[in-house]
Amino acid sequence: MEKDTTLEKSRYNFSNVLIKSPKEPEELQEVFNLFYGVCEERNWPAGDLFKLYSQSSVFWAGYRQGRIVCAVQLVLDSPLGFPITKPEAWPDLHILRGHGLKPAEVAMVAVDKQERGSALLFIPLYIHLYHFSKRTGITHWYAIIDRVIARLYKRLNLFFVQIGEEKIYWGEPCFPAVLAMADLERELEQNRPDLWQLVKEYAPD
């Protein structure tokens, strides 16, 4: 189980955001409620997509003063496949597997309305994603990228590479993309050494 940890760094003010991997039903429901709220706000026809993949997913959530403020869902490879290759998405997308390659999909990212405006809130979430991926041998993150997520990821130096055509998905222009862990490490080490040092120093159990 992921360790409950509060990140406190002078350069990156995380304002006492507690990160943990929710496992209990009521904790997961809090995550789903946050996801549903974002989907309703953006008019995304998400349905029960989060719950459909919940058994093959790992979740992380950020809490401030006991209230959930952000969350991310990482879908692991399983017979269910990935949301990115569903019929209404990109069913013919080639997913890298085998020969030392292990995929996962960053399927959903959400932040509470009251906490928006700073990408810093996502840094501890993605540090957890990174260390979990390294421990479990995940080599590539896949994601469906829209314009809002593209801006966020650019601010975080998460340079996903487009691997398919852009089309209307969930009512807005999106494209499938992938980020190799090796490329992420190289980018941070070369262009964001301060952030890379933080990632290396903070290794959740």
Place of tokens 């030392």: 100
Residues in Cβ contact with 132 at an 8 Å cutoff, skipping those fewer than 6 apart: 2, 58, 74, 138
CATH of the domain at 12: 3.40.630.30
Mean pLDDT within 96-123: 87
d(CA 50, CA 29): 10
pLDDT beyond 50 at 1: no
Q: Per this entry, what is the length of the chain?
A: 205
**Interval 29-53 mean pLDDT:** 86
pLDDT of residue 189: 94
Q: How many Å from the N-terminal Cα to the C-terminal Cα in the chain?
A: 8
Identify the pLDDT of residue 3. Answer: 40
Q: For position 7, what pLDDT does the model report?
A: 40
Using CA atoms in the order 88, 168, 76, 14, what is the torsion angle rounded to 10 degrees? -150
Q: What is the model's pLDDT at position 106?
A: 96
The answer to whether residue 26 sits within a structural domain is yes
Query: Residue 6: pLDDT above 60?
Result: no
Strand (E) positions, the chain?
Answer: 5-6, 18-20, 57-64, 67-76, 103-111, 140-145, 161-162, 167-169, 172-180
Does the pTM of the predicted model rise above 0.75? Answer: yes
- pLDDT of 204: 65
pLDDT exceeds 70 at position 154: yes
How far from 64 is each of 32, 33, 100, 120, 186, CA to CA, in Å?
17, 16, 38, 14, 32
Q: Is residue 125 part of a domain?
A: yes
144, part of any domain: yes
Phi, psi of 24 (to 5 degrees): -75, 150
Instruction: Give the chain's mean pLDDT.
Output: 87
- Percentage, residues of the chain above pLDDT 90: 59
Angstrom distance (rounded) from CA 183 to CA 185: 5
Domain that holds residue 47: 5-200
pLDDT of residue 4: 38
Residue 205 lies in a domain: no
- Cα-atom radius of gyration of the chain, to the nearest Å? 16
Q: What is the pLDDT of residue 47?
A: 65
Residue 79 inside a domain? The answer is: yes
What total number of domains does the chain contain? Answer: 1
